[in-house]
Amino acid sequence: MIHKKIHLFLLLTFIPFLSSNAGKAKTDWLQYVNTLQGTNSKFELSRGNTYPTVAMPWGMNFWTPQTGMNRNGWIYQYEATRIRGFRQTHQCSPWTNDYAAFSLMPVSGKLVVNQHDRALSFNHKNETAKPHYYSVQFDKGLKAEMSPTERGVFMRFTFPENEDSYVIVDANNDGSMVRIFPKERKIVGYCENANHSVSKDFANYFVIVFDQPFESFGTWKNNSGDIFAATDFAEDNYVGAYTAFKKGTVVNAKVISSFISIEQAEQNFEHELAKYNSLEEIRDLAAAEWNKQLGKIEVEGGTQEERATFYSCFFRSMLFPRKFYEYNAQNKAQYYSPYDYKVHEGYMFTDEGFWDTFRAQFPLNVILHPEMHGRYMQSLIDAYDQSGWLPSWSFPGHSGGMIGNHAFSVLADAYVKGIQTFDAGSALAAMKHDAMQKGPRGPSIGRDAAVKFRELGYVPFNGHGEATAKTLEYSYNDFCAMQLARKAGQKEYEDFFAKTIYNYKNVYDPDTRFMRGRLSDGSWQPNFDPLAWGGAFIEGCAWHYHWSVFHDIQGLINLMKGNKNFVAKLDSVFTVTNDFHVGTYGREIHEMTEMKMINMGQYAHGNQPIQHMTYLYTYAGEPWKTQKRVREVMDKLYNSGPDGFCGDEDQGQTSSWYVISAMGLYSVCPGTDEYVIGSPLFPKMTVHLENGKQIVIEAKNNQLSHPYIKNAKLNGKTFTKNFLTYSELMKGAHIQYLMSDKPNFKRGIKDTDKPFSLSKKTK
């Protein structure tokens, strides 16, 4: 069972602070954010697989205390008792692991450098974990604090009185260098620890400037045991540096890095850190920026725990994709491309897995952050130009994880909603290219069985892993490409992609009433078992993938011969067994364990394939079931604490699900301009848009026991449809719901009330 805990440390009082110029009380939204949300995770069981990220929104570098070993994906685990360093990280999830990571660690007393000996014990009581500020007082008295800039961090180490005081720099293995400049109180270096997605010369160049003189210094190597040397330079597989300071002092360290060069790292230092001399200045700047972003949604009412969960999730929705660009001396953006390994002018973003995030993250971003999103969309086309493929799982180059061509979804969704910062013709040419051939790295670059998908109408199960999941996702992806082509008036592309948008029908087996693996001779995969994971699917079973017809839910209803069967199947998801069969995985993977623990039948909210399913009742004339279920999920499967998620958080996706669901909306089919209506969480929410307009969402009589929409008004006019369009929202909207403890069986049941589907109702 997932226990819902109310965390004492979050029961803070409401503290308004005065903004310096306006003199008007502004809310400190950061008070609600707990960055430890989801950190109680391990290999066998994910409660988020997050770490206490210290960062600016979409910052180029993140920072975190590190409890795990270097190169271990579990960077910080809530149950761990010792911290080994304060680390620059780019990790999306333990399953991707990290790249370009290095760390600093204060040490007092005896000089020890390696990650085992230098680790210090701590207690969560003595820890503060916020986006803009992290601090921990170790059991032996030493205190460490840090606050971020976009590419750097300001660290402060307070050493115990009368004890020798050191700072260790750990540049990690797989290639590193350190060079010490004692007069300038500076250490520069690089760390590589790259992954297979980038070239061999990829490195992260860092600059560290201390405010205290070095009493002594040296370098260390860790190949097989520590080798110390009183030198100012070391370069090898695994090197580090150490500096000694006056006993019991306070040391400030300004740390920054670049993916381009040490010179560029110095430039970044000038831009972000040079003129600041206290942690407080950096902390306050970071707090102001976070409050600006978090203040885009002002929540009123709800419980303290609901607000804490909401803002902790909202914080996590604003970390990825990462800004991968840096400013040169002329203040122009430029970046090291993880796709062609050259330096280019402009903006690049990375560290993003679209299989997870096309669903809720980007449909949320197009509402809240259209300017940044527009830059991101152009950078996807640049990535294609530089590498020959659209990104799917960029980390930082093409990492090849998961399946589908979901850049189609993200690009089309932006374009149809009017974010047209990129050339549609270039995007469509890229999509056609990627839809026609298999890529070089992993199933998510290009398309597996591209020709067979077009010729047979599905990806055959013989010879192709995850064949039915791919068929479903490619059908949807091609719909997205078609939408973009239609909007851009590119008839040839529209016709090309239109040929495959109904291919999902070819993997529906009317006998078992499930999507099912199908062989190239047309026969069905033998020994069908709807509880078996893997096989024709990925990270799920037939119960989860049945709903992956995002663009044609009515078509799926028609395949199932009507609303009655469709609704019965939706209901069954929650009432059938929560058992699983390990299938082709051959062992229990954490997603299986988490589904079992959720104890809502086959509803596996801890992974992405089924996350839109609760919204599908609105297509079949029973929207009240959506309203009840989404509130149940928000209430039962999320909280603000270390157990805050019911599975992997995944670069903002599972957090964004909560944020957008709390708005009473969800984007079942990105690539259309519609948001399906669920059940708003709070009595009132005000969304401040970049265009200066507001979306005000009011829900009278709202509480968990009153999840049902009795009636709804948009700008004073009653409406019954189960969706709102992007333009209705973006021109400013006043949405008023009257909530009830009883379903309104008359509202939202007409055909015109249903959200978009390709197919019309057949009977």
In the complex with Ca ion, the residue whose CB is nearer, 494 or 648, is 648
Alpha carbon distances (Å) from 68 to 44, 50, 64, 79, 473: 16, 13, 11, 11, 36
User: Residue 376 CB: number of other CB atoms within 10 A?
Assistant: 26
- Closest distance between Ca ion and the C-beta of residue 652, in Å? 12
Pattern 291-330, binding to Ca ion, x per CB under 5 A?
Answer: ----------------------------------------
Q: At what angle do helices 653-662 and 623-636 cross, to 10 degrees?
A: 120
SS3 readout for 8-44: HHHCCCCCEEECCCCCCEEECHHHHCCCCCCCCCECC
In the complex with Ca ion, the residue whose CB is nearer, 306 or 650, is 650
In the complex with Ca ion, the residue whose CB is nearer, 34 or 607, is 607
Q: Which of 648, 627, 626 is nearest to 637 (CA)?
A: 648
- Closest distance between Ca ion and the C-beta of residue 347, in Å? 27
Q: Considering only 97-105, 200-208, 234-242, 645-653, which stretch makes contact with Ca ion by CB under 5 A?
A: 645-653
- Closest distance between Ca ion and the C-beta of residue 540, in Å? 10
In the complex with Ca ion, the residue whose CB is nearer, 133 or 543, is 543
Out of 607, 627, 722, 744, the residue judged to bind Ca ion by CB under 5 A? 607
Whether residue 687 contacts residue 296, with contact meaning beta carbons closer than 8 Å, is answered with yes
Q: Considering only 31-39, 601-609, 660-668, 743-751, which stretch makes contact with Ca ion by CB under 5 A?
A: 601-609
- Closest distance between Ca ion and the C-beta of residue 608, in Å? 5
In the complex with Ca ion, the residue whose CB is nearer, 75 or 367, is 75
Question: Can you tell me which residue has the tokens 């070391």?
Answer: 234
Q: Considering only 110-118, 455-463, 605-613, 655-663, which stretch makes contact with Ca ion by CB under 5 A?
A: 605-613
- Closest distance between Ca ion and the C-beta of residue 591, in Å? 7
SS3 readout for 254-278: EEEEECCCHHHHHHHHHHHCCCCCC
| Contact set for Ca ion, span 221-250 (CB under 5 A) | none
Question: Can you tell me which residue has the tokens 């009330």?
Answer: 753
Contacts of 199 (CB under 8 A, 6+ apart): 341
CA distance 88 to 103: 6
In the complex with Ca ion, the residue whose CB is nearer, 593 or 711, is 593
- Closest distance between Ca ion and the C-beta of residue 643, in Å? 17
Out of 28, 266, 382, 648, the residue judged to bind Ca ion by CB under 5 A? 648
In the complex with Ca ion, the residue whose CB is nearer, 544 or 631, is 544
Q: Considering only 184-192, 238-246, 604-612, 755-763, which stretch makes contact with Ca ion by CB under 5 A?
A: 604-612
In the complex with Ca ion, the residue whose CB is nearer, 622 or 650, is 650
Whether residue 628 contacts residue 707, with contact meaning beta carbons closer than 8 Å, is answered with yes
Q: Considering only 2-10, 73-81, 242-250, 602-610, which stretch makes contact with Ca ion by CB under 5 A?
A: 602-610
- Closest distance between Ca ion and the C-beta of residue 2, in Å? 17
Check binding of 649 to Ca ion (CB under 5 A).
no
CA distance 606 to 600: 12
Residue 610 backbone phi and psi in degrees, to 5:
-100, 5
- Closest distance between Ca ion and the C-beta of residue 648, in Å? 4
In the complex with Ca ion, the residue whose CB is nearer, 430 or 542, is 542
In the complex with Ca ion, the residue whose CB is nearer, 268 or 608, is 608
Whether residue 87 contacts residue 101, with contact meaning beta carbons closer than 8 Å, is answered with yes
Check binding of 650 to Ca ion (CB under 5 A).
yes
Q: Which of 311, 295, 305 is nearest to 16 (CA)?
A: 295
- Closest distance between Ca ion and the C-beta of residue 602, in Å? 16
Alpha helices in 388-466 (DSSP H): 407-416, 424-436, 450-455
- Closest distance between Ca ion and the C-beta of residue 92, in Å? 11
Question: What order of strands is seen across the sheet that includes strand 665-666?
Answer: 665-666, 674-677, 723-725
Q: Considering only 14-22, 564-572, 575-583, 648-656, which stretch makes contact with Ca ion by CB under 5 A?
A: 648-656
Alpha helices in 576-642 (DSSP H): 590-598, 623-636
Check binding of 698 to Ca ion (CB under 5 A).
no
In the complex with Ca ion, the residue whose CB is nearer, 28 or 648, is 648
Q: Which of 82, 85, 87, 84 is nearest to 139 (CA)?
A: 82
Three-state secondary structure call for residue 345: strand
Binding site residues, Ca ion, CB under 5 A: 607, 648, 650
